[in-house]
């Protein structure tokens, strides 16, 4: 399983764009990159998933360079409600039986 | 559509007692997972059901933990007897299919278990 490394914490202000980078140097050919978000006192919530290049949805964008050894979650114009822990997960989870392997995540704090 | 629900939201018990946690997955989701976060640690996988069958229980810490999913609907996780180190938040998640890549798992709010 590919190990992931991401910053423990980040601070931002309302209205700014936030980019959280995750390193996964030993990512395998069949691995996907997935990000989850967790608010206090809630379970994690799926945000976005990608394999290569760029993926965008209504919540975020995911940028994956050609070598796939890192990925960047981009949150446009954050608000106070985006304060949460963000987890980067890498793997072909179907072949792992579907289980998710969480790291320590990045605690994002958005200030007014 | 109702999300994943868990009961109770909080449970405080004494060491040696028994506690049963319940999870109701999203209707129609064959895959049900249990995870937990003990204090200060990362969220860890416990086990995975496909319908009523245990697909993977490699994360179950010891035989004091028993998970069931009779009829392939709701699931229970029993801890007997509870120990201090079992304190933490227990999450349940469900998904339609494991899916390619990570797929998308829908998590419940968790049950916070405190063992005194």
Q: How far is B49 from chain A (nearest CA, A)?
A: 10
Q: If phi over 0 gives left and psi between -120 and 50 gives alpha, with beta otherwise, what is residue B9?
A: alpha
**pLDDT the model gives residue B102:** 56
Q: What are phi and psi of B76, to 5 degrees?
A: -125, 150
Q: How far is A74 from chain B (nearest CA, A)?
A: 19
Q: Report the chain A residue with the minimal C-alpha distance to residue B42.
A: A104
**pLDDT the model gives residue A99:** 79
What percent of chain A shows pLDDT beyond 70? 94
Q: Report the chain A residue with the minimal C-alpha distance to residue B56.
A: A97
Half-sphere exposure for A91 (CA within 13 Å, toward CB) = 22
Contact B110 A42 (CB under 8 A): yes
pLDDT tens, residue by residue, A40-77: 989 999 999 999 989 999 999 999 999 999 999 999 99
**pLDDT the model gives residue B2:** 83
Contact B33 A43 (CB under 8 A): no
For chain B, list residues with pLDDT below 50. Answer: none
A94 pLDDT exceeds 70?
Answer: no
**pLDDT the model gives residue B103:** 67
**pLDDT the model gives residue A1:** 61
Cβ atoms of residues B115 and B83 within 8 Å = yes
Say whether residue A70 is in contact with chain B using an 8 A CB cutoff: no
**pLDDT the model gives residue A30:** 84
SS (H, E, C) chain B: CCCCEEECCEEEECCCCCEEEEEECCCCCCEEEEEEEECCCCCEEEEEEECCEEEECCCCCCCCEEEECHHHCCEEEEECCCCHHHCEEEEEEEECCCCCCCCCCEECCCEEEEEC
Average pLDDT over residues A36-41: 93
**Which H or E run contains A36?**
strand A32-38
A87 pLDDT exceeds 60?
Answer: yes
């Amino acid at each position: 399983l590919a190990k992931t490394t991401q910053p423990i914490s980040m601070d931002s202000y309302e209205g700014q764009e936030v980019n959280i980078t995750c390193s996964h140097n030993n990512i395998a050919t069949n691995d996907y990159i997935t990000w989850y978000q967790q608010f206090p006192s809630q379970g994690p919530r799926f945000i976005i998933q990608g394999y290569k290049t760029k993926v965008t949805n209504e919540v975020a964008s995911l940028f994956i360079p050609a070598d796939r050894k890192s990925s960047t979650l981009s949150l446009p114009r954050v608000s106070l409600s985006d304060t949460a822990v963000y987890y980067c997960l890498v793997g072909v989870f179907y072949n792992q039986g579907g289980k998710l392997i969480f790291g320590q995540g990045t605690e994002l704090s958005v200030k007014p | 559509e109702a999300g994943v629900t868990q009961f109770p939201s909080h449970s405080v018990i004494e060491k040696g007692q028994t506690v049963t946690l319940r999870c109701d997955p999203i209707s129609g989701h064959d895959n049900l997972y249990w995870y937990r976060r003990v204090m200060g640690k990362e969220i860890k996988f416990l086990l995975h059901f496909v319908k009523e069958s245990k697909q993977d229980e490699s994360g179950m810490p010891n035989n004091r933990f028993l998970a069931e999913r009779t009829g392939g609907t709701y699931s229970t996780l029993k801890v007997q007897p509870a120990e201090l180190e079992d304190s933490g938040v227990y999450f349940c998640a469900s998904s339609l299919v494991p899916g390619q890549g990570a797929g998308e798992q829908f998590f419940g709010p968790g049950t916070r278990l405190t063992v005194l």
